[in-house]
Amino acid sequence: MASTNELKNGLVLNLEGQLWSVVEFQHVKPGKGPAFVRTKLKNVLSGKVVDKTFNAGVKVETASVDRSDMQFLYKDGTDFVFMDTKTYDQIHVPSDTVGKVADFLLENQEAIIAQHDGAVLYVELPASVVLEISYTEPGLQGDRSTGGSKPATLETGAEIQVPLFLEQGTKIKVDTRDGSYLGRVS
């Protein structure tokens, strides 16, 4: 349990049986009436963001979420197998839990696994990863102008939009949050 006065970004609350992460909070002391805390909460499982207001000093239930660095080993059927880099324990994570992260996940890649009471809540990758373009249509001479883009298939199988001048075999930096092209890596 924690008081609403102790809220901070990243704290996970257990509200009505669901886990919510504090994205933003603001203590408000109006001229009239009691103080309150305005928060923006993100559902840990669905990613839905809601605004919620608490009276100041009210107790809220917190949840312990263990975040650990793990390495992706391989895919086993529909499960993804991760290994804890400190204890070498292996865990199987269902593909539903991994979600869109699988589009940018390579073997031996580091990821953060969040667990609550032994259940995996989500898999988080760094903000950007370096991947190689496995297939894209060749660019034509004169396609060096800005603004144009074409689809490219990455080595993980994900398809993203890249500038026209990029070719097959080029290593690029990709934003893991929205799948956008960030730049070429030499």
Q: What is the pLDDT of residues 161-186, one digit of tens each?
A: 988 888 889 999 999 888 889 988 87
What CATH number should be reported for the domain holding residue 27?
A: 2.30.30.30
What CATH number should be reported for the domain holding residue 115?
A: 2.40.50.140
DSSP string, 35-100: -EEEEEEEETTT--EEEEEEETT-EE-B---EEEEEEEEEEETTEEEEEETTT--EEEEEHHHHGG
Residues 6+ away with beta carbon under 8 Å from 108: 71, 72, 73
Residues 117 and 70 both lie in one domain:
yes
pLDDT at 174 (0 to 100): 92
Q: Model confidence at 45, in pLDDT bands (50, 70, 90)? A: confident
| Residue 30: pLDDT over 60 | yes
Contact between 92 and 81 (Cβ < 8 Å): yes
User: What's the structural domain count of the chain?
Assistant: 3
pLDDT at 141 (0 to 100): 57
Mean pLDDT of the chain: 87
pLDDT at 154 (0 to 100): 92
Residues 31 and 75 both lie in one domain:
no
Of 108, 124, 140, the one marking the end of a domain is 124
Residues 114 and 135 both lie in one domain:
no
Residues 50 and 88 both lie in one domain:
no
pTM: 0.69
Residues 105 and 71 both lie in one domain:
yes
Helix (H) or strand (E) holding 116: strand 110-116
Residues 47 and 88 both lie in one domain:
no
pLDDT at 140 (0 to 100): 63
Domain of 44, in residue numbers: 2-60
Residues 112 and 136 both lie in one domain:
no
Query: How many other CB atoms sit within 10 Å of the CB of residue 19?
Result: 19
Residues 33 and 75 both lie in one domain:
no
